[in-house]
């Protein structure tokens, strides 16, 4: 109970909990900034392009992976505002590309499926622009060592990044494995149906063949009279 005129001091555990909550909020805000994730369907013999206007001296990273379709490969290239190709790969299942812009303007990155004439693809990509903001104020300009709580925040931040990357990786692997399982299930179903039809036709043929063996052929009446 606080006496009149006295100053109420919070418990160290409560202060530590409040600071940790603020630290986690800052971590989650930093993790969710500056990125675009998209899953797109790429038809056969088609190409999809995306455009992003960037300033000079900006870092961007493009990560992509084919989730389903064909041999799980796709063409990808990136062009600068002058139309110069700064990245190009053909028939890649997944890859990562990082670049620091030298020109200001619209950068274009495209995914191509022109080499496939009958299978469409589903492609996931993550486009990150800029460096990650510091999780603590003036962290890059500090001359003093980090406190124990600040070090814990940095450690938690790195762990959260690793968890998010792992979750994204396993989510894509699960989607890819599900697509393969569904494709395999369809092939097994069609093969089973074909085997059933063949078995039915062979059974009817064997019955008719055995029936012909036991059918008695009577002599004609004209031949008996002569």
Which of 12-21, 83-92, 105-114, 131-140 has the weakest average pLDDT?
12-21
pLDDT at 92 over 60: yes
- For the chain, what is the largest distance between any 2 Cα atoms, rounded to a whole number of angstroms? 143
What does the pLDDT average to over 206-224? Answer: 71
pLDDT at 137: 63
Using 50, 70 and 90 to split pLDDT, how confident is the model at 135?
A: low
pLDDT at 111: 95
Residue 127: strand, helix, or coil: strand
Question: Which one, of 140, 133, 129, lies nearest residue 101 by Cα?
Answer: 129
The 10s digit of each residue's pLDDT in 20-45 is 444 444 444 444 446 688 888 899 88
DSSP summary character for residue 136: S
Is residue 121 classed exposed, middle or buried when 0-12, 13-18 and 19+ CB atoms within 10 A define those classes? buried
pTM above 0.85, yes or no: no
Q: How far is CA 111 from CA 71, 81, 210, in A?
A: 15, 18, 61
CATH topology of domain 37-131: Jelly Rolls (2.60.120)
Using 50, 70 and 90 to split pLDDT, how confident is the model at 7?
A: very low
The span from the CA of 23 to the CA of 15, in Å, is: 12
What does the pLDDT average to over 91-103? Answer: 91
Which of 39-48, 105-114, 205-214 has the weakest average pLDDT?
205-214
Q: Which residues pair with 36 in a beta bridge?
A: 127
Domain boundaries of the chain, sorted by first residue: 37-131, 133-213
pLDDT at 121 over 80: yes
């Amino acid at each position: 109970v606080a006496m009149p005129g006295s100053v109420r001091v919070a418990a160290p555990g409560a202060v530590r909990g409040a600071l940790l909550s603020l630290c986690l909020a800052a971590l989650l805000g930093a993790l969710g900034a500056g990125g675009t994730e998209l899953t797109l369907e790429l038809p056969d013999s088609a190409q999809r392009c995306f455009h992003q206007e960037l300033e000079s001296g900006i870092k961007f990273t493009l990560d992509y992976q084919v989730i389903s379709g064909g041999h799980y490969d796709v063409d990808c290239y990136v062009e600068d505002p002058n139309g110069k190709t700064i990245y190009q790969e053909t028939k890649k299942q997944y890859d990562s590309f990082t670049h620091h812009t030298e020109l200001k303007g619209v950068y274009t990155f495209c995914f191509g499926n022109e080499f496939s004439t009958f299978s469409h693809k589903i492609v996931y990509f993550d486009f990150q622009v800029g460096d990650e903001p510091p999780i603590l104020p003036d962290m890059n300009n500090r001359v003093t060592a980090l406190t124990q709580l600040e070090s814990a925040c940095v450690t938690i931040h790195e762990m959260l990044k690793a968890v998010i990357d792992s979750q994204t990786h396993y989510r894509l692997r699960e989607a890819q494995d599900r697509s393969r399982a569904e494709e395999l299930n369809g092939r097994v179903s069609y093969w089973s149906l074909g085997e059933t039809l063949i078995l039915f036709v062979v059974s009817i043929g064997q019955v008719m063949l055995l029936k012909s063996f036991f059918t008695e052929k009577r002599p004609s009446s004209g031949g008996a009279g002569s």
